């Protein structure tokens, strides 16, 4: 029974996806009905995940699944974030598609399938399982991006993402092959044992294999040398899908990235120096790209690169003995709440066909829609890391962890990058509060996204009270 409870969120999401898929085939289900169903299923899966007992890692159905799934407090936290991201993205989508075209009835089904793949990714403790989960997630996301086939922008985004994603997937498979050659197994536990017995740097196949797998993860997480696709793809996707990609996909990738790195302390030590430079470069290159953007969506995409940099700091400082990953989960939760909040707000403020997209379009928002402007300001301040928001606490835990781990310069560079990022976050706040409004920001009636934005603004403060042991 314990085992079944542990994988129940996965089952609930998968079964929910199939339910929506079947419902979409009926004539009597219309857009509204299916939206409510999708939102409800995400909420249900979230509560199921909440009931899973946290504690020491367990391997559900260890003998049947051959120890390929492992659930722990870390996977529970990641699962909660992923399902909450799905819930709020679904709410934002409901509103978005009242003003924008390109809705297909299978939209929520693909969203649930993507969440199912992400949950699998967080739980997987074996490379081939990780690969299949990665592909489940990616295929569903490709479909979500391109569901409006009449738009050239969407097609361009999905082609870029598909080609580069396939390339990253190939790197992952090649890496798995080399790891199998070096360790005679693809299971995390067995790899850890081989590393403990024979050492990491003395085993070239393991080193090469983990390099290729790291490349695939860094690609999916949009870290420095592999960040070029992010801005175009995020810009080309529909607003709620961009929000879902920026938060849920990142959560899943970092969960599996951390699980892979803590297989063994030696494996992590072997890569720490490189991850150090990658995190510094990711933060500053992301900042440079973000400063140059004039479109809000592209700025948020580029700021996503910067946040990847902070998360890599957390990975550098992670301790493979008694790994809990609480700082990573906390930062992901704080980042997800504020990013999703902005994208939910953009979903109803964006107008028909996403016509409001640049900084100038939001001039004087505070005078016309003061509550929405206040929420957006809260999200931006949280992303910039101003107390008392969750974003500040997240950065605080990560940088404190870096200091504790002895990476003083990395922590200082993190603070510096955070100051640099104020430039583009405050730019929008200035536009909203200190400029004169040019239009009246009409929005569609009867929608859920404003409510979702408000709830997320509250949770930005609520999350900051969750205690974390570094």
Partner 1 sequence: MLTTYLFFGLALLAVLGALGLIIFKHPMNGAMSFVVTLISLAGLYALLSAKLIFAIQLIVYAGAIMSLIVFIIMFLNIQEKDLPLDPNRWFYVAGGIIVVGPIAGLLINISRTLPATEVTVFDDGFGSVKEVGQLLFTQWLLPFEIVSILLLVALVGAVVLAGKRGVN
Q: Which is nearer to partner 1, 133 or 332 (CB)?
A: 133
Q: Which of 143, 176, 136 is nearest to 158 (CA)?
A: 143
Q: Is 223 in the site for partner 1 (CB under 8 A)?
A: no
User: Minimum distance from CB of 105 to partner 1 (Å)?
Assistant: 6
Q: Give dist(CA 120, CA 128) in Å, integer.
A: 12
The answer to whether 422 and 382 are in contact (CB under 8 A) is: no
Question: Smaller CB distance to partner 1: residue 87 or 108?
Answer: 108
What are φ and ψ of residue 118, in 5° steps? Answer: -65, -40
Total residues contacting partner 1 by CB under 8 A comes to: 45
Asked if 228 is part of the footprint of partner 1 (rule: CB under 8 A), the reply reads: no
171 Cβ neighbours under 8 A, 6+ residues apart: 212, 213, 215, 216, 219
Q: Which two tokens stand for residue 423?
A: 């430039």
109 with 35: CB under 8 angstroms? no
Q: Which is nearer to partner 1, 149 or 367 (CB)?
A: 149
Residue 178 binds partner 1 (CB under 8 A): yes
- Residues 395, 386: contact at Cβ < 8 Å? no
Q: Please report whether residue 64 would count as binding partner 1 according to CB under 8 A.
A: yes
Contact call for residue 109 and partner 1 (CB under 8 A): yes
Could you tell me which of 225, 206, 205, 207 has the C-alpha nearest to residue 215?
225
CB of 146 to partner 1, least distance (A): 6
One of 140, 223, 315, 443 touching partner 1 (CB under 8 A): 140
- Out of 53, 101, 352, 439, point to the residue binding partner 1 (CB under 8 A): 101
Q: Judged by CB under 8 A, does residue 466 bind partner 1? A: no
Q: Is 352 in the site for partner 1 (CB under 8 A)?
A: no
The structure tokens listed for 315 are 């990975």
Residue closer to partner 1, measured from CB, 22 or 415:
22
Q: Does 23 bind partner 1 (CB under 8 A)?
A: no
The DSSP output letter for 149 is: T
User: Taking contact as CB under 8 A, which single stretch among the options 120-128, 331-339, 420-428, 440-448 is the one that binds partner 1?
Assistant: 120-128
Q: Based on the shown chain and the rule CB under 8 A, indicate whether residue 28 belongs to the binding site for partner 1.
A: no
191 near partner 1, judged by CB under 8 A: no
Question: Judged by CB under 8 A, does residue 31 bind partner 1?
Answer: yes
CB atoms within 10 A of CB 308: 25
- Token digits of residue 294: 């004039």
In angstroms, rounded to a whole number, what is the distance separating the alpha carbons of residues 183 and 65?
20
Per CB under 8 A, the list member of 5, 8, 21, 228 interacting with partner 1 is: 21
Check residue 198 for interaction with partner 1 (CB under 8 A).
no
Our finding on whether 426 is near partner 1 (CB under 8 A) is no
150 binds partner 1 (CB under 8 A): yes
Separation in Å, CA 99 to CA 9, 239, 362, 371: 32, 12, 18, 21
**List of E strands, 277-433:** none
Query: Could you tell me which stretch among 76-84, 174-182, 315-323, 328-336 binds partner 1 (CB under 8 A)?
Result: 174-182
Q: How far is the CB of 196 from partner 1 (least distance, A)?
A: 19
Q: Does 139 bind partner 1 (CB under 8 A)?
A: yes
- Residue of 23, 69, 278, 428 that binds partner 1 (CB under 8 A): 69
Binder among 19, 36, 65, 470 for partner 1 (CB under 8 A): 65
**Of residues 129 and 389, the one with the C-beta less far from partner 1:** 129
Site string for partner 1, 289-328 (x = CB under 8 A): ----------------------------------------
What's the gap between Cα 258 and its chain centre?
14
- Residue of 102, 169, 265, 437 interacting with partner 1 (CB under 8 A): 102
Residue 139 or 291: which CB sits closer to partner 1?
139
User: Could you say which of 5, 19, 132, 455 contacts partner 1 (CB under 8 A)?
Assistant: 132
* Rg of the chain in Å (alpha carbons): 21
- Distance, first Cα to last Cα, the chain: 32
Beta carbon nearer to partner 1, 203 or 326: 203
Q: Which residues pair with 187 in a beta bridge?
A: 126
3-state secondary structure of 55: coil
Find, among 401, 190, 183, 395, the residue nearest to 309 by Cα: 395
| 146 is an interface residue for partner 1 by CB under 8 A | yes
> Could you say which of 40, 53, 66, 360 contacts partner 1 (CB under 8 A)?
66
CA-wise closest residue to 121 among 172, 56, 159: 172
Distance separating alpha carbons of residues 53 and 14, to the nearest angstrom: 20
Residues 280 and 406: their CA atoms lie apart, in Å, by: 16
Biggest alpha carbon–alpha carbon distance for the chain: 68
Report CA-CA distances (Å) from 350 to 88, 147, 298, 355. 17, 19, 14, 6
Beta strands in 72-121 (DSSP E): none
Q: Which is nearer to partner 1, 206 or 432 (CB)?
A: 206
Q: Catalog residues that contact partner 1 under the rule CB under 8 A.
A: 14, 18, 21, 30-31, 64-66, 68-69, 101-106, 109-110, 113, 116-117, 120, 126, 128-129, 132-133, 135-136, 139-140, 142-143, 146-147, 149-150, 174, 178, 181-182, 204-205, 207-208
């Amino acid at each position: 029974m314990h085992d079944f409870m542990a994988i129940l969120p996965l089952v609930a999401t998968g079964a929910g996806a199939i339910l929506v898929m079947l419902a979409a085939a009926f004539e009597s289900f219309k857009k509204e009905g299916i939206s409510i169903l999708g939102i409800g299923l995400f909420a249900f899966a979230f509560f199921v995940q909440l009931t899973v007992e946290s504690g020491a890692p367990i391997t559900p159905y260890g003998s049947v699944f051959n120890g390929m799934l492992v659930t722990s407090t870390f996977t529970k936290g990641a699962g909660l974030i992923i399902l909450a991201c799905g819930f709020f993205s679904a709410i934002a989508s409901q509103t978005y598609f009242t003003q924008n075209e390109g809705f297909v009835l299978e939209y929520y089904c693909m969203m649930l399938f993507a969440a199912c793949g992400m949950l699998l990714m967080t739980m997987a403790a074996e490379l081939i399982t990780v690969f299949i989960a990665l592909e489940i997630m990616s295929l569903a996301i490709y479909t979500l991006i391109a569901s409006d086939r009449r738009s050239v922008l969407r097609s361009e985004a999905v082609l870029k993402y598909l080609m580069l994603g396939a390339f990253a997937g190939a790197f992952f498979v090649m890496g798995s092959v080399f790891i199998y050659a070096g360790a005679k197994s693809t299971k995390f536990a067995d790899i850890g044992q081989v590393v403990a017995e024979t050492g990491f740097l003395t085993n070239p196949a393991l080193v090469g294999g983990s390099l290729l797998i790291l490349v695939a993860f860094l690609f999916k997480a949009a870290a420095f040398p592999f960040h070029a696709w992010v801005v175009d793809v995020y810009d080309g996707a529909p607003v709620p899908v961009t929000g879902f990609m920026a938060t849920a996909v990142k959560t899943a990738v970092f969960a599996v990235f951390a699980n892979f790195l803590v297989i063994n302390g030696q494996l992590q030590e072997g890569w720490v120096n490189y991850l150090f430079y990658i995190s510094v470069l990711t933060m500053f290159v992301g900042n440079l790209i973000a400063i140059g953007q004039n479109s809000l969506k592209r700025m948020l995409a580029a700021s996503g690169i910067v946040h990847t940099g902070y998360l890599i700091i957390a990975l550098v400082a992670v301790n493979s003995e008694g790994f809990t990953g609480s700082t990573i989960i906390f930062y992901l939760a704080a980042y997800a709440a504020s990013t999703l909040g902005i994208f939910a707000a953009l979903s109803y403020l964006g107008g028909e066909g996403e016509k409001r997209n640049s900084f100038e379009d939001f001039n004087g928002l505070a005078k016309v829609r003061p509550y929405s402007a206040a929420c957006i300001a809260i999200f931006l301040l949280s992303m910039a890391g101003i107390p008392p928001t969750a974003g500040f606490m997240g950065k605080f835990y990560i940088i404190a962890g870096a200091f504790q781990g002895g990476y003083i310069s990395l922590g200082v560079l993190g603070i510096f990058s955070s100051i640099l990022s104020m430039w583009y976050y405050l730019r929008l706040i200035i536009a909203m509060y200190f400029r004169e409004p040019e239009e009246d920001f009409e929005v569609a009636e009867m929608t859920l996204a404003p409510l979702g934005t408000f709830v997320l603004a509250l949770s930005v403060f609520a999350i900051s009270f969750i205690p974390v042991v570094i």
